[in-house]
Amino acid sequence: MVITMIMTIAAMIMAVIADDAFQLPACGTSGRTIMVSREEPTRRAVLGTGMGLGAAAAAGSASQTDAQSAQKTFVLVHGAWHGGWCWRRVADRLERQGHKVYTPTLTGLGERSHLMNGKIDLDTHITDIVNVVKWENLRDICLVAHSYGGWPVSGALEQILDRVASVVFLDAFVPEDGQRGFDFASEFSRKGTIEAQQKGEISRPAPPATAFHVNETDLAWVDSKVTPQPLALAFSIIKLTGAREKVAKKTYIRAPAYPQPAFDKYYAAKKADPAWRTYEVTCGHDVMIDMPDRLVEILLESA
Sign of the dihedral through C-alpha 191, 287, 77, 271: negative
What is the radius of gyration, based on Cα positions, of the chain? 29
Alpha carbon distance 110, 228 (integer Å): 9
Alpha carbon distance 158, 160 (integer Å): 6
Give residue-wise pLDDT tens across range 227-270: 999 999 999 999 999 999 999 999 999 999 999 999 999 999 99
Nearest by Cα to 230 from 124, 76, 158: 124
CA angle 45, 49, 55 (to 5 degrees): 145
Q: How far is CA 104 from the centre of its chain?
A: 16
Residue stretches of the chain with pLDDT short of 70: 1-69
Q: pTM, whole model, 2 decimals?
A: 0.78
Q: How many CA atoms lie within 13 A of 136 on its CB side?
A: 20
CB 174 within 8 Å of CB 154: yes
Would you state the pLDDT for residue 186? 78
User: Which position among 30, 147, 186, 189 bears the catalytic label?
Assistant: 147
Residue/partner pairs of 184-193 with CB below 8 Å, 24 or more apart:
184/262, 185/234, 186/259, 186/260, 189/80, 193/231, 193/234
Would you state the pLDDT for residue 101? 98
147 is catalytic: yes
Would you state the pLDDT for residue 187? 81
Strands 276-280 and 249-254: parallel
Would you state the pLDDT for residue 69? 58
Domains of the chain (ranges; CATH) run: 2-67 (no CATH), 71-302 (3.40.50.1820)
